[in-house]
Amino acid sequence: MPLVNLCGLPCSGKTTRAHQLKVELEQYICDNAQNLAERNIVLRPQVIIVNDESLRINKREAYASPHEEKKARGALISAIERHLSREDLVICDAMNYIKGFRYQLYCIARALGTPHCSIHCGVSPSTAEIWNAARDPSTAYETTTLQDLCTRFEEPDARNRWDAPLFTLIPSDPLPIADIASAVILRRPPPPNLSTVVKPLTETNYLHEMDRTTQEIVDTILAAQKEGITGDTKVPKAKVNLKLPPRVITLSELRRLRRQYTNLNKLHTQLDMGRVADGFVEYLNTNIG
């Protein structure tokens, strides 16, 4: 049912928290079985942890190059998609340091009609370096890789819907299991939004139409950038304004975001064609800022 999304610097204690959380949530489900049944909440008693270890990904190698890192993130999100359901509680134990990636996980949970929460394992970069040095050399990050990952980490913000509700814990903090259970088990899931949901589709050429609509928006962005346009920008078929940043958005970045949005909606929703453009614009506004 719910998705618990861990995030934090490398070597910040996320896996320790994940296993602690698994034990306590399984105990909570067992102890409150009758109460949950009365609320029509059905959960399997075993909590699933998805992380690099469960996917047999070597972190030392996976995060040493952009290509391998991209493959690792793809494997992680595919595993989340396989395991997440209305009856399974899944813990995503990973750095999840890119806000756009956390947004993707949020969209997957929301499309399935299930709640989620974020747990930020907070440590300083210097502590992460000390804990990394204490690891077995075969699993420790290279110093340059560790520093690069720490620099690129985008801290979660409780004001962002994809990060909320957010629990920030330092290593000495007890796990607030009652609050976490309330957030991901007892709380009603948020209603689907433009990017995740919608009416049943009647067009047989759904994928073709979505491809054409999103390509028109990409072409509009490229044309606007050539003219030096920034800020609120109208795009074809969308009621929502695109917020173009002052930086140049590359064609490769736009292709990547378009592919992610298409794959997300192809797997989990059937968007009404009149809302595809608004959903894509909202997705872009979240990821290009």
The average pLDDT across 140-156 equals 95
On average, the pLDDT of the chain sits at 88
pLDDT in tens, 239-283: 888 999 999 999 999 999 998 888 877 754 555 666 788 888 988
> Cα–Cα–Cα angle for 181, 186, 192, nearest 5°?
115
Query: The domain 3-186 is classified under which CATH number: 3.30.70.580, 3.40.50.300, 3.40.470.10, 3.40.50.920?
Result: 3.40.50.300
Read off the DSSP letter of residue 94.
S
The average pLDDT across 102-110 equals 87
Question: What pLDDT shows up at residue 201?
Answer: 47
Domain boundaries, the chain: 3-186, 206-287
Residue 100 near residue 286 (C-beta atoms within 8 A) = yes
Per-residue pLDDT at 139 exceeds 50: yes
Per-residue pLDDT at 196 exceeds 70: no
pLDDT in tens, 213-243: 999 999 999 988 988 888 889 888 888 889 9
The kind and range of the H/E element at 285 are helix 273-287
Per-residue pLDDT at 53 exceeds 50: yes
Burial 232-244 (b: 16+ CB within 10 A, else e): ebebebbebebeb
Residue 97 near residue 149 (C-beta atoms within 8 A) = yes
DSSP-derived 3-state class of residue 242: strand
Question: What pLDDT shows up at residue 146?
Answer: 96
- DSSP string for residues in 186-214: ISPPPPP-TTT--SPP--TTHHHHHHHHH
